[in-house]
Amino acid sequence: METTTPRIVDLFEAGKVLKICAPMVRYSKLPFRALVRKYGCDVCFTPMIVAADFMRSNKARDSEFTTNDSDRPLIVQFASSDAQTLADAACVVAPFSDGVDLNCGCPQRWAMAEGYGACLINKPELVRDMVRLVRNQVAKPNYSTSVKIRIHKDLRRTVDLCQKAEAAGASWITVHGRTADERHQPVNCGAIQTIKDSVSVPVVANGDVRNLRDVEAMHRLTGVDGVMAARGLLANPAMFAGYEDTPLQCVWDWVDIATEQGTPFTCFHHHLMYMLERVSSQPERKVFNSLYSTSAVIDYLHETYGPVPDLEVSN
């Protein structure tokens, strides 16, 4: 059932930083999106979906893309190397989402070998054509089309890419402030600021965002309109609400959401491993990581951390 679509670009307000949950393979699925939305997250991404597989297989569509009426605003991220395939996939998900995003940043070898991800930053004309075709073929005037990129060593090439995407109709651009070869080096805030100053559409910064102070510092240093977090939200899904570490209330919220939605145990357990890593001792983590069933996890949480606290979520 099609739901009312807000204009994503209308969520970007002067002086306000839009807080966004990044696309994360295996992790930014519907239950986790429901959790971070409770704690100050403004927009969520799906995990990256390979558009060609999505269009080829009903099974892939059913397993890769799940949502519900409360899962909004929602951006579906696709990996694609072909404009028509991307546009076809966008048309399929458009009734159930608020925008699509083209992944131009994934540095994994398999993705780049298939012509996906970060290799697209070296093909600005193809990115331009893909953005333009999605804008032309999705019959929803409020639907957003965005790109998520990494930067070049020669920043002039990145500015050219972003300006071509903007001219083709990109609604906004997310910049991961590292090159495709960089993994743990500090994010290049100067590069993000240069890109922000070179386009008129909203720009979102991604990388090295682990708490609300990082959000504010990134905004101050770069002037961006939004900030996207990945690992920071895995470690603390309440990060955008201002919590330094995962509050116990958030842990129990995850238990409720995950069990209600039938989340597979491995996913349920892994999320809790991330959430509890900074608030538990090494012996506690060793015991917790060895648990093998949902009931064992819930029993452990009760015994170790006690009942759900009577706290209100701050926003």
Distances from the Cα of 301 to the Cαs of 31, 78, 255, 313, 314, in angstroms?
19, 36, 10, 20, 23
Euclidean distance between CA atoms 145 and 271, whole angstroms: 29
Distances from the Cα of 118 to the Cαs of 48, 103, 110, 115, 272, in angstroms?
13, 8, 11, 9, 30
Three-state SS at 255: helix
- Is 191 in contact with 218 (CB distance < 8 Å)? no
- Is 92 in contact with 61 (CB distance < 8 Å)? yes
Q: Per the structure block, which two tokens stand in for 101?
A: 């995003």
**Catalytic residue positions, numbered:** 106
What's the burial of 128, exposed, middle or buried (CB within 10 Å: 0-12/13-18/19+)? Answer: buried
- Is 45 in contact with 101 (CB distance < 8 Å)? yes
DSSP character at residue 243: -
